[in-house]
Amino acid sequence: MSAPGQASDTAILDLLARDSDPRRAFAVGDLVRVRRGCYYPTDAWLALTDGERFQLAVAAHAWTHPDTVFCGETALFLRGLPVVKVPPTIDVATPSTTRLGVRPPSFAVRGTAERSVRALGSAPPPLRRHFHATVTPQEVRGCLAVPLAEALVETMVHAKFARALTVADGVLRLDAAAPLLDREPVLEAIAALRYATHRRRCEAIASLARAGAESPGESVSRALMLRFGFPEPVLQCEYADGQGRLGRTDFTWRSGPQATPTPSGKERVGEFDGWGKYFDSGLTGGEDPVAVVKREKRRENRLLALGHPVLRWTWAELEQPARFRSMLLSAGLQASRSAAFAL
């Protein structure tokens, strides 16, 4: 595997510039140590996004240990599956039952300057070793990883409910030809699990996966709704008025026993507002954020004119589940006495 970006070890620096020594630059804070033997310019490290830093840390590990096989959420991340922010650990498969679990991180930065402090606060997650009796690795973006179905099932077993549902939604969204539980590789991976409780958990999460969840934020939103026992919304409903097509809403709640009737008798709609909707040029087509906000406001006014109350939330609410629950209750939705999926 080629060196990841500007990452380098002592031998490579000696070949490129014999009077250079990464230890000196590292000692004064010009380089961060991504892992032992692999360094990266501090300023360049700080300029990366969390996802890019995670990707670089994975690449650095694969570069220094070419036989590494990544598994779990890391294997899904390498395949481009949407995850909640970045995986909490760098997941590695091992046939050994010793030294399992989380290993101390080898990331380090020296110095007390402001950039060194910021770099230390942006360290990649630690390595975690997972036992795999047998592994059939596949090459993914220059790394080795377990098959997709195996990585998905492993994540559904070990990840928190919201993270597990997010990747399950993502797999289904990339290929919605069949439900997850109708796919032979997924069923085989579930059947191979040792514990019945793990098998039941995977089957339950797989049955809740929906291709209509178009982003991690929407998947996390729905996970919290299910966790608190709110009625499951319909995803991506189309609306139109006298002016023409309004577009799709992220969530729609039909009138029913778990919703206080609206004054108009119409459905409530919910919208998750990720900032990318307004500021990511890849999503806005380069449109000015102010224009995007105005257009979205006009769309909301048209929905209100049709009698559909609109509830909006962001990551800030999702990161405080109790606050999100209160918002849904205030909007007239009613939760069941016990959570539908309390994981």
Are residues 221 and 253 part of one domain? yes
Q: Can you give the three-state secondary structure of the chain, one letter per residue?
A: CCCCCCCECHHHHHHHCCCCCHHHHHHCCCEEEEECCEEEEHHHHHHCCHHHHHHHHHHHHHHHCCCCEECHHHHHHHCCCCCCCCCCCEEEEECCCCCCEEECCCCECCCCCHHHHHHHHCCCCCEEEEECCCCCCEEECCEEECCHHHHHHHHHHHCCHHHHHHHHHHHHHHCCCCCHHHCHHHHHHHHCCCCHHHHHHHHHHHHHCCCCCCCHHHHHHHHHHHHCCCCCCEEEEEEEECCEEEEEEEEEECCCCCECCCCCCCCEEEEECCCHHHHCHHHHCCCCHHHHHHHHHHHHHHHHHCCCCEEEECHHHHCCHHHHHHHHHHCCECCCCCCCCCC
Give tens-digit pLDDT for 53-92: 999 999 889 988 999 999 999 999 999 998 998 999 999 9
Is the pLDDT confidence value at 10 over 50? no
Amino acid, res. 169:
D
CA distance 141 to 1: 10
Give me the sign of the Cα torsion angle 98, 104, 105, 108: negative
Are residues 247 and 191 part of one domain? no
Are residues 221 and 163 part of one domain? no
Considering only the C-alpha atoms of the chain, give the largest distance between any 2 of them, rounded to a whole number of Å. 77
pTM of the model as a whole: 0.84
Are residues 317 and 231 part of one domain? yes
Percentage of the chain modeled with pLDDT above 90 = 55
Q: Is residue 282 part of a domain?
A: yes
Give the residue from 211, 229, 254 where a domain finishes. 211
Pairing of strands 69-70, 127-131: unpaired
Range among 1-15, 219-233, 240-254 rated most confident: 219-233
Nearest one of 181, 293, 164, 185 to 227, comparing CA atoms: 164
CA distance 87 to 79: 13
Q: Is residue 5 part of a domain?
A: no
Are residues 297 and 246 part of one domain? yes
Percentage of the chain modeled with pLDDT above 70 = 84
Are residues 268 and 171 part of one domain? no
| The pLDDT of residue 168 | 97
| The pLDDT of residue 14 | 38
Range of the domain at 193: 148-211
Q: Is residue 178 part of a domain?
A: yes
Give tens-digit pLDDT for 181-196: 999 999 999 999 999 9
Give the Å distances, CA to CA, from 20 to 38, 72, 108, 262.
Answer: 15, 38, 20, 70
Are residues 229 and 301 part of one domain? yes
Q: Residue 34 phi/psi, 5° resolution? A: -70, -45
Amino acid, res. 148:
L
Give the Å distances, CA to CA, from 143 to 2, 11, 79, 200, 297.
Answer: 11, 22, 10, 31, 44
Are residues 183 and 163 part of one domain? yes
Give the residue from 188, 211, 234 where a domain finishes. 211
Q: Is residue 23 part of a domain?
A: no
| The pLDDT of residue 277 | 55
Give the residue from 158, 193, 211 where a domain finishes. 211
Q: How many domains does the chain have?
A: 2
Are residues 310 and 290 part of one domain? yes
Residue 102 · residue 67 · CB < 8 Å = no
Amino acid, res. 232:
E
Nearest one of 249, 236, 238, 230 to 332, comparing CA atoms: 230
Q: Is residue 343 part of a domain?
A: no
Residue 226 · residue 235 · CB < 8 Å = no
Are residues 304 and 226 part of one domain? yes
Q: Is residue 138 part of a domain?
A: no
Sequence-distant (≥ 6) Cβ neighbours of residue 159 within 8 angstroms: 72, 73, 167
**Mean predicted confidence (pLDDT) in 29-50:** 90
Q: Is residue 12 part of a domain?
A: no
| The pLDDT of residue 281 | 52
Q: Is residue 85 part of a domain?
A: no
